[in-house]
Chains A and B, each alone.
Chain A
Amino acid sequence: MRIKRLIKIFVQKTLISAKTWLEDCFKYIGGLFILLAQTVVGIFSARPRKRQVLEQMNKIGVASFPIVFLISFFTGIVLALQSAYQLTQMSAEMYIASLVALSITRELAPVLTALIVAGRCGAAITAELGTMKVTEQIEALETLSANPVEYLVTPRFIAMIIMVPLLTVYADFFGIAGGYLIGISKLHITHSMYMKMTWDPLSVKDVMTGLIKSVSFAAIICIISCYEGINSQGGAEGVGRSTTSSVVRSFILIIIADCFFTGLFYFVAH
């Protein structure tokens, strides 16, 4: 009898926790979509804020160039070296160029760039907006008749949508350059052969699929980091919590979106 009652209590508690978790989950996703809608409306209805957009483009894009260069260049090197293990056994070294070019443009450059931007800029956005929230600066904006979404989120969204794809193109270039360096210096592939094997299989579609992904990643990073920031509460500790949550949730959603788009492009192509 007692065991039955304990099981019943356990099941009830589990169901209640699951219900709360689901409610919170739907509330969170709903909040993200509402913020996205308000931001997109803000792009067309609010007056353009060129200065803020340029400032954010500098913070998100220009300042991220060195780290994107380092990571994409070394990823290209690692990718060439790792694939050389197998391909040299089959005397198919020249395909390393194609492999590097396709995996960088279709997959690695957009995802790595998005993860770098989420970690570097998404966290900074959440920390900045979170601090503004807990020090009543966002409420102050409202009392000054300014719409916080139009003033804070829209310029960041525009900057992110422009700069993340640009950083991805940059990562494409340096990732391929990393592979080229290894191909020429260590694998003894000639310059003309490496270039031919890079460009021949590569089509505009490959680069475009990477760019479509990067635009969606940019939207995910911006909306999550801004949402977490403007909903921060509980002082410095709360801002820290929101910042961690912003990075973790951005990473998860970027990977899910990547899986979704890769699947979509695969099934559309076939």
Chain B
Amino acid sequence: MIKLKDVSKSFNKQLILKNLNLEVKKGESLVIIGRSGCGKSVSLKHMIGLVRPDAGSVLVDGTDISTLKSEELDRMRLKFGMLFQGAALFDSLTVLENVGFQLFEYADMAFVQIKRRVSECLGMVGLQGIENMKPAALSGGMKKRVGLARAIIMSPEIILFDEPTTGVDPVTGDVINKLIRHLHNTLKTTSITVTHDMKSAYQIADRIAMLYDKQIIGIGTPDEIKNSKNPIVKQFINGDAEGPITQGNGSRF
């Protein structure tokens, strides 16, 4: 469904991804793990065309989206929903306008129908009666859930989650993980999640891919990753301060 082929990307002459290859199968829930700043979010943004690769291609259902014109890309993006790290709700709009944004913009629907659909999506993420509130009045966890409702409003085929549990308390984090898994199962979507929270990764994933040193160094089911012999993967999933990741770079303490 989504294929990153030999993708390389640099920002300000700093190489972030180098010949990265990754395939996401239709209907699966893939979690990309890795240290902060290793390029996980950049690879996720490649999949939706927010970032274009310097080299290589990004195929979505066989179409290379890195070469699409902006109008074609906009049409392609209707297949996607995305939850951002900080939810990225529009401050000036109410929850109703945020969640129903695409319906107000593109759907030929009456206001009452849009309101009903928004309430339905908010209900799916466990929120009710907050349609007229502004994002500033919501807690971090509520914002993430509203962001999730906005991501699923158009019933997308693919949902991207950028650090869904970052910045929320462990209980809310667990609620969000369960919600993501529940939505994945009920909506039958393809999900790609970027996180460094291993508890979250084990809960959400069908497969886990580890990004390290600009490339994918290991991919497999949660059990395969847990039992991986790769010392880098082992150090990361165990959260050890000592090991090949921190060796010689002075970041032990």
Contacts and interface: CB of A to CB of B under 8 A. Distances in A.
A137 B50 contact: no
Main secondary structure of the interface of A (DSSP, over half): helix
Q: How large is the interface on A (under 10, 10 to 19, 20 to 34, 35 or more residues)?
A: 10 to 19
Interface in A124-170: 131-132, 135-137, 139-147
Given A136-B84, A137-B90, 7 more contacts: A140-B88, A141-B90, A143-B48, A144-B105, A145-B102, A145-B106, A146-B101
Contacts of B70: 147
Contacts of A145: 74-75, 77-78, 102, 105-106
Contact of A136 (B74, B86, B102, B105): B86
A137 B88 CA distance: 5
Contacts of B86: 135-136
Nearest to B50: A139
Interface of A: 131-132, 135-137, 139-147
Interface string B126-162: 0000000000000000000000001000000000000
A114 B14 CA distance: 41
A145 B90 CA distance: 15
A140 B48 contact: no
Interface of B: 45, 48, 50, 70, 74-75, 77-78, 80-82, 84-86, 88-91, 101-102, 105-106, 150
A137 B70 CA distance: 18
A237 to B, nearest CB: 17
B84 A144 contact: no
Contact of B105 (A132, A140, A146): A146
Given A142-B50, A145-B106, A137 B91 contact: yes
B147 to A, nearest CB: 8
Contacts of A146: 74, 101, 105
Contacts of B91: 131-132, 137
A146 B74 CA distance: 7
B84 A140 contact: yes
B85 A143 contact: no
Nearest to A149: B70
Contacts of A139: 45, 50, 84, 88
Nearest to B77: A145
Contacts of A143: 48, 50, 77, 80-82
A166 B77 CA distance: 40
A103 B88 CA distance: 48
B102 A144 contact: yes
Nearest to A143: B82
Contacts of B85: 136
A120 B84 CA distance: 31
Contacts of A147: 70, 74
15 contacts: A137-B89, A139-B50, A140-B84, A140-B88, A140-B89, A140-B90, A142-B50, A143-B48, A143-B77, A144-B105, A145-B75, A145-B105, A145-B106, A146-B101, A146-B105
A143 B85 CA distance: 14
Contacts of B50: 139, 142-143
Nearest to A142: B50
